[in-house]
Amino acid sequence: MHDKTLAELARSLDAGEFSSHELTQHLLGRIDRLDGELNSFITVTFDQALATADAADKTRAAGKAGPLTGLPLALKDIFCTRDVRTTAGSRMLDNFVSPYDATVVEKLATAGTVSLGKTNMDEFAMGSSNENSHYGPVKNPWDLAAVPGGSSGGSAAAVAAGLVPAAIGTDTGGSIRQPAAFCGITGLKPTYGRVSRYGMIAYASSLDQAGPMARTAEDCALLLSAMAGHDLRDSTCVARGVPDYTEELDTPLAGLKIGLPREYFGDGLDPQVETAVRDAIKVFESLGASVREVSLPHTHYAIPAYYVIAPAEASSNLSRFDGVRFGHRCDAPVDLIDLYKRSRAEGFGDEVKRRILIGTHTLSEGFFDAYYKKAQQVRRLIRQDFLDAFEEVDVLMGPASPTPAFDLGANKDPVSMYLQDIYTIAVNLAGIPGMSVPAGFAGRRPVGLQILGSHFTEARLLNVAHQFQQATDWHRQRPAFAEENA
């Protein structure tokens, strides 16, 4: 059961091969046995999951099941949930229980999904390896010496290990696509504004976006159809109809124009990753697509611009954690300033503090024009690069990450960690959608192909990824960890 995709599970539930209760019980059993080693969950909601599964079984028996009824998934621990704590991977929120559900949580619940719990993540989604979590690092099921990627590393590892068929992540600079690549699963970051951010703990509000992580593009299409849509509670959420994202999956790719950004194949790209990506592109050619080189000339400025804008927004967003209103409060403060200082010093980890310091500096009087304003101007140029490229081609393809998953502890220097996001970050600055799709291996560690489209072309991206998955079986490979522990 733990091997199947959401679409396959839905068919099995329909055919009465097993109930949602049995499926949920089986997966909870796996989490119980295997997650001690992986650490992909922060909170597992055993009783609630079974109760939800029972309700879903009743809905099905009454003939009222939708495409996701009774299907298990997990939520990154950045989505607020009523009744279940939401930590954002931080000591600051270790005991935080939200009074409401995030819109995404509410929509997935309405669709009948069964949440098994909340997955591990880098603290406040800051990181590329899931080593910045207060709850400890997550291991990559393909190789327990490797990181799963971050910041949605728990979501990616849980799916790869067969603990859950799908999970929800968030992507501010690559946090869905890079862990999907590292763990050999499929992940989609939607267009900025496609999915509501209400109830998603904010890191960098102009970049954050929630999206699905699953085994296949088809499953991502099922989930996005349920997650997307206008929400009056998020003023940046776009009022635009939500298509059924599964409808275009079978469109043939003949005539598809693919662009390969020259800047995504340069220095620093691991040769095994490059080979896997170039082989994947040949598959698209055999499906009738044409390929040409394009240029995104400002790519080089994406990381510096992001590491001004994201920390600036983070420093503002994280000022609410002051020991008064939310989360951790220090013991016996002598006065208000002592309360603020010690609560924040104790509650936040090192990387979060580093970003608050950078962001506070770049927003301060005298530096704002030199840093923040300049970075916003660069952002505009980066966006224009993509718009120009999409005048020529339908989609862009390249690696999701310059290397396969690296060893735990290998990137201790923050700058070398920041460089991990070289191919993903510009996408968030431009607000366009992007996917990572399994496309081979470098040794034992998976490689992800990144596919990018212009704003609101999710249906096309999912179609392109689905056609690739009809022609290849990288997405069907399972790590020995999941097989041995069947």
Residue 191 lies near ligand GLN (rule: CB under 6 A): no
Question: Segment near ligand GLN (CB under 6 A), from 105-113, 120-128, 235-243, 445-453?
Answer: 120-128
Residue of the chain from 128, 130, 362, 454 that contacts ligand GLN (CB under 6 A): 128
Give the binding range for ligand GLN (CB under 6 A) out of 119-127, 224-232, 265-273, 467-475: 119-127
Of residues 87 and 343, the one with the C-beta less far from ligand GLN: 87
Provide the annotated active-site residues. 76, 151, 175
* Site membership for ligand GLN, residue 173 (CB under 6 A): yes
User: Is position 187 an interface residue for ligand GLN (rule: CB under 6 A)?
Assistant: no
Kindly report each contact of residues 366-375 with a partner whose C-beta sits within 8 Å and lies 24 or more positions away, as own/partner.
371/308, 371/312, 372/308, 372/309, 372/312, 374/308, 375/304, 375/305, 375/306, 375/308, 375/309, 375/312
Distances (CA, A) of 311 to 2, 47, 467: 39, 38, 38
Closest CA to 417 of 198, 137, 149: 149
* Distance of closest approach, residue 471 Cβ to ligand GLN, in angstroms: 29
127 scored as a contact of ligand GLN (CB under 6 A): yes
Q: Which of 223, 198, 201 is nearest to 211 (CA)?
A: 223
Complex with ligand GLN: residue 30 or 379, whichever CB lies closer: 379
| Residues in Cβ contact with 312 at an 8 Å cutoff, skipping those fewer than 6 apart | 358, 359, 362, 363, 371, 372, 375
If binding is defined by CB under 6 A, does position 359 make contact with ligand GLN? Answer: no
User: Does the footprint of ligand GLN cover residue 77 (CB under 6 A)?
Assistant: no
Is 125 a binding residue for ligand GLN by CB under 6 A? The answer is yes
- 41 touches 119 (CB < 8 A): yes
Q: In angstroms, give the least distance from the CB of 344 to ligand GLN.
A: 19
How many whole angstroms separate alpha carbon 129 and alpha carbon 179?
Answer: 8
CB contact burial 308-344 (16+ within 10 A = b; e otherwise): bbbbbbbbbbbeebbbeebbbbbeeeeeeeebbebbb
Q: Is residue 174 near ligand GLN by the rule CB under 6 A? A: yes
Q: What is the spatial distance between Cα 103 and Cα 55, in angstroms, rounded to a whole number? A: 21
Is 216 among the residues that bind ligand GLN (CB under 6 A)? no
**Using rule CB under 6 A, residue 310 touches ligand GLN:** yes
Q: Does 422 bind ligand GLN (CB under 6 A)?
A: no
Nearer to ligand GLN among residue 6 and residue 309 (C-beta): 309
How many of the other CB atoms lie within 10 Å of CB of 82?
Answer: 14
* Helices and strands in the chain: count of H runs, count of E runs: 16, 11
DSSP state of 441: E
Phi first, then psi: what are they for 389, rounded to 5°? -60, -40
Contact between residue 420 and residue 178 where contact means Cβ atoms under 8 Å apart: yes
Residue 126 binding ligand GLN, by CB under 6 A: yes
Tell me if 289 sits within 8 A of 363, measured CB to CB.
no
Residue 308 in contact with ligand GLN, rule: CB under 6 A? no
Phi, psi of 7 (to 5 degrees): -65, -40
Q: Which residues contact 331 (CB under 8 A, 6 or more apart)?
A: none
Cβ 282 to ligand GLN shortest distance, Å: 30
Among the listed residues 131, 219, 421, 458, the single contact to ligand GLN using CB under 6 A: 421
Residue 175 as a binder of ligand GLN (CB under 6 A): the answer is: yes
Q: Enumerate residues 361-420 that contact ligand GLN by CB under 6 A.
A: none
* By CB under 6 A, residue 211 contacts ligand GLN: no
Q: Is 172 in the site for ligand GLN (CB under 6 A)?
A: yes
Closest CA to 319 of 305, 342, 340: 340
Q: Which is nearer to ligand GLN, 75 or 260 (CB)?
A: 75
Minimum gap (Å) between residue 236 Cβ and ligand GLN: 17
Does residue 431 belong to the site contacting ligand GLN (CB under 6 A)? no
Residue 151, interface with ligand GLN (CB under 6 A)?
yes
Q: What is the smallest separation between the CB atom of 210 and ligand GLN, expressed in angstroms?
A: 11
Smallest gap, in angstroms, from Cβ of residue 463 to ligand GLN? 25
Give min distance, CB of 358 to ligand GLN, in A.
11
- Closest distance of CB 436 from ligand GLN, Å: 12
129 binds ligand GLN (CB under 6 A): no
Nearest to 92 by CA among 131, 135, 129, 43: 135
Measured distance CA(379)–CA(383) in Å, rounded:
6
Binding window for ligand GLN (CB under 6 A); candidates: 6-14, 97-105, 137-145, 173-181? 173-181
CB 429, min distance to ligand GLN, A: 12
- C-alpha 436/C-alpha 160 separation (Å) is 14
Which residues bind to ligand GLN, rule: CB under 6 A? Answer: 125-128, 151, 171-175, 203, 310, 421
